[in-house]
Amino acid sequence: MTTQTIDHLRRIATPSRLAMEVGKKVTGFDFELFHWLAYAEQRILDAVLDTNQRFVMLNVPPRSGKTTFSGVFLPAWFLGMFPEKRVMFTTYSDDFSVRFGRAVRTILDRFGREYFGVGVDRSAQSASDWQMANSFGGMLSTGIGGVLTGHGGDLIIVDDIIKNIQEARSQTSKRMHEDWYDTTLRTRLHPGGTIIITATRWAEDDLSGVLIERIRKEGYDGDQWEVLDFPALAEPRDDEVVEDEDAWRDELGRKIGESLNPERFSIEDYVARRDGGMDSFLWSCLFQQRPSSPEGGMFPRDRWMYWNPQNIPALTRSVRVWDLATTEGGGDWTVGVKMGIGSNGDLYVLDRQRFQRSTSDVEQAVLACSQTDGYGVKIMIEQERAGAGKTVFESYQRKLAGFSVAPAKADGTKEQRATPYSSMQQQRRVWLPESAPWLEEWRKEHQGMLGDGRRPRHDDQIDTAAYAARELLGQGAVSMWIPGADPSWMTARGQATALVGTSPFR
């Protein structure tokens, strides 16, 4: 093999090599292979070249160069190397997707024969759906939700399908993304193909979050996603135990606080943005790829207290609250939270049941749990405002004869119902069992309740605990929780002021 041949092969060995050769001629600027991207590229190519179906998720901050790589040079390289294969690329809109499809076609039209010995079919001129010369291979570009009938893909790339904060807050948009992925896009993957999702995280329940939640479920046996999370400033994951922060390093070799893209954004650049008035939740989502803010919100992570058999006081009352769901193996969760109030007035979470079962199995679990708790524990069952809520409650009331059973009625908003509970937690007066296996699930869900309408994908644990707290604290009507407000309204003086405008205790 000649030196000239070796040099040529090096120029097309990877998408980044191709990008460094032709990038400026196509995009107008030199391509930079950042350290994080070199790492991600190796993981992506390992998946793309595997003969088995593979799934890779790449979550990185905005303006990091991920879309130029995944939307332009990766598909151009892939079709240059495998002109008989099909690429599908989707992002938040048809117009934006087509821009990338056009750029890929331009690269292969201008440089394909020189670098790979392949070209584009000149008769297939559509920028959104074009073919390689003498082949059925090619590329389809479409916006999220687009029609894919009759198409399949060996490499499917999903890039930044949430456009802005309005879409991030829209449950309708996010559920449409999830349904379209499951029923349309996922079904188009060819045997041995690869799906790559590149995103900047916007919400806990965006498509990336939904898929991550699935693979963490016990007994999951679906698509196995390799998740690459790269925060702007290096930090341990929420569930990562760090014994020595000075010695800690992430998969890129960064120390805590080091920049992801020092070639483009220094530590100071990121810190200035974080501390310059940017919403802490958005910073956590967009830049740290952590869609639950570690600070602020209705339930700050550092305000929980933890009990063990040695430090729990005598409990004066306890209650078990159920939020019932009857979808076996999927959908909503049935949650039952048992909470007690101590002689010191603090709240103690004693037990949490959480499962997805059929109607009859849910009923059996509730009855069995009630027998275990005993007759001294009041039972409350969430009763929806409409539908069969009243009928369901009355049915359980009959089956639980001898127990104290009451409805937990859904008055006010979720934030309003959670206000007394939130205030107690912020005063460090809500205690969790320190050895419970479900602690991280509990804390993560609570972190997602921001108090301004932004909520976690599932909030059943919050709802049931909020009902229990109100029952134990003797709360009636609810008031809106205000982020950062002084929790002194939980006192008798504060409650009277909230209700009548002026405290009668003066």
179 and 254 belong to one structural domain: no
* pLDDT above 70 as % of the chain: 89
Host domain of residue 255? 231-291
137 and 89 belong to one structural domain: yes
261 inside domain? yes
Give yes or no for a contact between 86 and 142, defined as CB atoms under 8 angstroms apart: no
25 inside domain? no
Domain CATH number, residue 58 = 3.40.50.300
186 and 267 belong to one structural domain: no
29 inside domain? no
Geometric angle at alpha carbon 220, from 215 and 223, rounded to 5°: 60
Domains held by the chain: number: 3
Other beta carbons within 10 Å of 122: 9
455 and 392 belong to one structural domain: yes
* Cα–Cα nearest to 56, from 212, 220, 185, 221: 212
pLDDT at 380 over 90: yes
- Least confident piece of the model among 201-210, 416-425, 488-497: 488-497
Mean model confidence pLDDT for the chain: 85
- Greater confidence (26 vs 249) lies with 249
Among 225, 241, 266, where does a domain finish?
225
3-state secondary structure of 65: coil
What pLDDT score does 386 carry? Answer: 55
* Cα–Cα nearest to 298, from 167, 469, 157, 97: 469
405 and 480 belong to one structural domain: yes
Give mean pLDDT, residues 439-457: 79
369 and 495 belong to one structural domain: yes
39 inside domain? no
Geometric angle at alpha carbon 409, from 481 and 176, rounded to 5°: 75
Q: Say what the pTM is.
A: 0.67
**Which burial class, exposed, middle or buried, applies to 371 when counting CB atoms under 10 A from its CB (0-12, 13-18, 19+)?**
exposed
Among 205, 225, 245, where does a domain finish?
225
Strands ordered across the beta sheet of 153-159: 129-131, 138-143, 86-91, 153-159, 189-199, 54-59, 225-229
pLDDT at 492 over 60: no
Domain CATH number, residue 335 = 3.30.420.240
18 inside domain? no
241 and 333 belong to one structural domain: no
212 and 250 belong to one structural domain: no
List pLDDT tens digits, range 147-205: 787 788 999 999 999 888 788 878 888 899 999 999 999 999 999 999 999 999 888 88
Other beta carbons within 10 Å of 255: 12
pLDDT at 488 over 70: no
Give mean pLDDT, residues 233-243: 81
424 and 400 belong to one structural domain: yes
